[in-house]
Chains A and B, each alone.
Chain A
Amino acid sequence: MKTNIILAGVGGQGILSIATSIGMAALKNKMYLKQAETHGMSQRGGDVFSHLRISDKPIYSDLIPKGKADLIIAVEPMEALRYVPYLSETGYLVTNTKPFKNIPNYPEVEKVLNQLKKLSNVIMLDADAIAAEIKSKRSMNMVMLGASSPFLNGITYKILQEGIKDIFGKKGEDIVNKNLEALACGKAEADKIITKK
């Protein structure tokens, strides 16, 4: 079984922490992994992505072909739209609705959100607002990861939690707990949206 995940955002938003958490969980499951990242010029506020592939068999390409992503996790809505051509027919797109406007020609947010809403498998949430509610603005990424957790084939929520404990353990219990709380809030929000559908 192979899962193709695309992470998208803006340089500085920290999408790699999501990739690292999923990657850690995949390793705990003894799965193969390839993770292509954006380093360099785009990290200065440009669009950035990561292609993350996990599988129980060896993986060849570092890049996911278009139309083959099982899951897109976008921490910014226009960046979500940018990667829609990669989504497979049965794939899910989980996106933050809070725009990051650092360009003068940013499109009308309503229009962007409307296009995303038209997709068949989409979960949209204001992850920044949810992170702010639990007084942990910096864990927006973990909210997004939590909201994506129902769609991570082969990776249980429990393993995801363990991975996060491993990654943030060095930084102390408080940070681990904040991240786990953010993860739970994201998952709860996604569950709510899924039941409504």
Chain B
Amino acid sequence: MQKVLLGVEAIAQGAIDGGMSGVYAYPGTPSTEITEYIQNNKYAKEKNLHSAWSANEKTAMESALGMSYTGKRTMSCMKHVGLNVAADCFMNASVTGVNGGFIITVADDPSMHSSQNEQDSRFFAKFAQIPVLEPSNQQEAYDMAYSGFQLSEKFGVPVMIRITTRLAHSRSIVELKEVLPENELKLPSNPTQFILLPSIARKQYKGLLNKQKQFEQDAEVSSFNNYIEGSDKSKGIIACGISINYLMENYPDGCPHPVLKVSQYPLPRKLIQKLYDECTEILVLEEGYPIVEEHLKGYMEKENVSGRLNGALPRDGELNPDLVARALNLPTTDKAETSDLVAGRPPALCAGCSHHDVYTVLNKVIADHYTLGRVFSDIGCYTIGALPPYNAINTCVDMGASITMAKGAADAGLVPAISVIGDSTFTHSGITGLLDAVNENSPITIIISDNESTSMTGGQDSAAKGKIEEICEGVGVHPDHIKVLLPIAKNHDEMYKVLKEELDFNGVSVIIPRRVCIQKHARDIKMKRKNLK
């Protein structure tokens, strides 16, 4: 059977067909649709495959590891920065190893279309010393998810599938395979495998190190890595992941140079050696950091290797056919300049968004009573408050950092310090920071701008829904300083008053302006109508 699928959907379908029992994830562009596809898939629903959202990437990855412990196949998905949150589990799961096949799918975002940075997850996989699969197209994305569980089980380690935005969000035709059954429940044969006490961990770690050679040998013969012969040996090209497409785009009748297509890591050493011996120069095409290039060039900076480090390609940002053409000294039709009339069109808050009311009032209170520069914010739709006409926030770093950065600034004497955080971000990683603030009675005011939705990533349900006041009270915020507001134009005066009072309070206060995201609201109404029919 054939289907037209986004790269992310191909991974989801491949995992379902490959016998997966559950996916664990927290949303994050460009990885979100993997889990959404499984949530909406008929077969997955019938089989009751786990697909509910987790509170954050760390809880997601740990739950997946727990599922793998039982012998079942599982996947955990996240965007690149989500892997930072899950890193503690990630780095240790390579040492425990797996029981049931465990795929960790990480979607990187070079050019930062929707992200704070463009870190390359292949680096992280090397850090954890596990194999990586990097699909070059939608079909390979499907095939890798399908067969990735077997690879993980064969070597007893988690396997990473690494994709980037362009493949994640591009559609093509994918040929599906037969559906494999789920694994039976079967606990690890070694009862101490998952106990990382130093004495056991040392043994486990040696095991991981001993497997490195096998990982390399497997990459050597992998059907995902191909050596394509070419007669013009003045140059040999290493093309990783989707960059092979940009190369072939420039050579529609076949590339005259020898090409090594790399889609499984660690690097296939013998194939690289062959290219090296055969060709005068090596050009490395890779999406993300110049990892392969740096590897080959080495500390001694071998001069016949080029790529992002010597300026043949830009050091940052995603690749495209035109950039690759220039690196190959081929002519391009990239001539016309964009007209000066064209203005940037940044994302904006929707008309009627509750965050608008929050910033309007907050800006007024600050302008009337305080100096600027004291609003620590976070990641979500409300980050758009950084842009005109609001210019309302001073920071956005990593999820949860608004509360803790406000605390640090207050500790240093910036009083009052204000945190603006979303409901989903609060339960993702704001709660522990709140506990720190409560324990020291820090003079900070936390605005949890609650739209009852994880809106920036498309309106997924928020783990915080209906729980925020209780969580804050449970963590130790005094009930008198937990204030719920309805952020609508008519209430601006009341919001102003409450905000001013709490900013004057010398301790932790939490203000919760609550009104459902208008996009989610519209979708809910549409769904209701549909269900009534």
Contact = CB atoms under 8 A, between A and B. Distances in A.
Nearest to A10: B345
Contact of A40 (B29, B320, B338): B29
A60 B248 contact: yes
Interface string A30-46: 00111111111111111
Q: Which of A38, A42, A61 has the most CB of B within 10 A?
A: A61
Interface string B298-336: 000000000000000000000011100100000011111
A60 B140 CA distance: 13
Contacts of B244: 60
Nearest to B29: A40
B399 interface: no
Nearest to B109: A40
- What interface size band does chain A fall in? 35 or more
A39 B345 contact: no
Interface string A76-119: 00110110110110000000000000111111000110010000
Contacts of B30: 39-40
Contacts of B339: 81, 84, 115
B350 interface: yes
Contacts of A115: 339, 341
Contacts of B452: none
A46 B333 contact: no
A27 B501 CA distance: 62
Given A44-B384, A65-B321, A107-B341, A85 B334 contact: yes
B11 interface: no
Given A36-B171, A47-B344, A63-B246, 18 more contacts: A27-B4, A33-B173, A39-B169, A40-B114, A45-B350, A60-B246, A60-B249, A62-B167, A63-B320, A65-B321, A65-B325, A66-B333, A66-B334, A78-B345, A82-B338, A82-B342, A111-B341, A112-B341
28 contacts: A27-B173, A38-B113, A38-B169, A39-B30, A39-B169, A40-B30, A40-B114, A41-B347, A42-B347, A45-B345, A61-B248, A61-B249, A61-B321, A62-B172, A62-B242, A62-B245, A65-B321, A65-B322, A66-B322, A66-B332, A78-B343, A84-B338, A85-B334, A85-B335, A102-B345, A103-B348, A104-B389, A105-B343
Interface of A: 10-11, 23, 27, 32-47, 51, 59-68, 78-79, 81-82, 84-85, 87-88, 102-107, 111-112, 115
